[in-house]
Amino acid sequence: MSEINVSEQNVQLSEHISLKNAQMAEVLAKIVNDKITWVAERKAVQPVETFKPLLTASDRDFYAALDNGQTAFILECKKASPSKGLIRQQFDLDYIASVYNQYASAISVLTDEKYFQGNFDFLPRVRAQVTQPVLCKDFMIDTYQVYLARHYGADAILLMLSVLNDEQYRELANVAHELGMGILTEVSNEEELERAVALQARVIGINNRNLRDLSTDLNRTKQLAPKLPQGTIVISESGIYTHQQVRDLSRFANGFLIGSSLMSQENLELAVRKVVLGENKVCGLTHADDAVKAYQAGAVFGGLIFVQQSKRCVDIETARLTMSGAPLQYVGVFQNHSIETIADTVTELGLFAVQLHGDEDQAYIDALKAALPESVEIWKAYGVTDHMPVLLNQVDRHLLDAKVGNQSGGTGTVFDWSLIEAPERIMLAGGLNPDNVQQAAKLGCLGLDLNSGVESEPGKKDIAKLRQAFSEIRNY
């Protein structure tokens, strides 16, 4: 009897999945049908004859922008989507463009109105503020849309093989190339990938999202990318949220298209640098200008040391002045301090996290957790010799540093990185400098903690060393 029930459940589940897939296929078909209507209506109010004769070729090379020897990032301006609804309430294009201009290889702008709350008017607004090529992202089905995209300043377009047959693709692609525009050809399965290759697409975007059920699977990039001919520029799209994912997929893809995961974050600057560079910290800050240097180089966190015997020790007032220099997320470093002292310092300065560098045990951490605001993270530092320490609980980040004699941290020494287990939970410190950060970044840790290796003297950060270090971190 139970076997029959299991069989019936499997049939019901299969029917449910088939129905869901059919419903999503219907959604895609509905979007395309609505786009046909939109194109007809737009042609009536803005005939192609009124602007086509005035079009000039794009002067921003989409293909060159994505093929400069560095991992490329197409960062997207997206207000809403069918799967997530409204993503960014405060959709300030000026702010978005000012952030993307610092990090993007190209910038994608959603222009579909009904499903993404986009607009063609967004294209010139973004393009006027950036130097990168601007990609018009829409459901392209008619050459009219290609001309319209160029009219509004687009330097590239998206063509989806889930929407177009080969003849339609060639027709739209020919118009785009006549206008000097690049093409991002999107595929989501092996059949579409084979078509893209046959169509000689130069840039192929592998969509990790299943357009039938909206699920994401980053393994799709890993499975499909190796099947592409050498020389193809591969862009991984959808489902990318972390720097670790970027690092992992960069072995298979030349670049990434990232939208929703960035647009959902209020602090866009912070969100972008986390994805592109990782969640790195510059510790031992003692002056406001050093905080500025760390922030400009690409750091997310700034470390303030409250340990008396440290050469970089600061008092409350010096810490406050240092913090005024740049909007880093500040981490206070303590060693065997009283819980009351730490809690008071956190309250007074509004610290993002406390980092414990002493003999604090589990009971201490449990008590500290109860004494701190829920939003304040606890980081625990461990001195590493020839084996991995036992990691404590109630800790948001574990920081590994070299232990030399009785001293943990501040030694400028590197420990044996092969000892690291579960790097996704680890902040890595100890002897990091511009010469070894690239190798350190490959380990897949949450972030790197830089200090003496980017100084000209204890407590004074060197802008040249900082820039070189973060340039090496970005080189993947």
Catalytic residue numbers read 76, 78, 137, 186, 207, 237-238
b or e along 223-255 (b: 16 or more beta carbons within 10 Å of the residue's beta carbon)?
ebbeebeeebbbbbbbbbbebbbbbebeebbbb
- Residues facing residue 399 across a β-bridge: 381, 427
From its phi and psi, is residue 44 left (phi > 0), alpha (psi between -120 and 50) or beta? alpha
Nearest to 259 by CA among 232, 225, 236: 236
Please check whether residue 135 is in contact with residue 108, taking contact to mean a CB–CB distance below 8 angstroms: yes
Cα Dmax for the chain: 79
Nearest to 262 by CA among 234, 278, 240, 288: 240
Provide the 10 A C-beta neighbour count for residue 45.
7
Residue 284 to residue 316: CA distance in whole angstroms: 14
With 0-12 / 13-18 / 19 or more C-beta atoms within 10 angstroms meaning exposed / middle / buried, residue 42 is: middle
Cα distance from N-terminal residue to C-terminal residue, the chain: 57
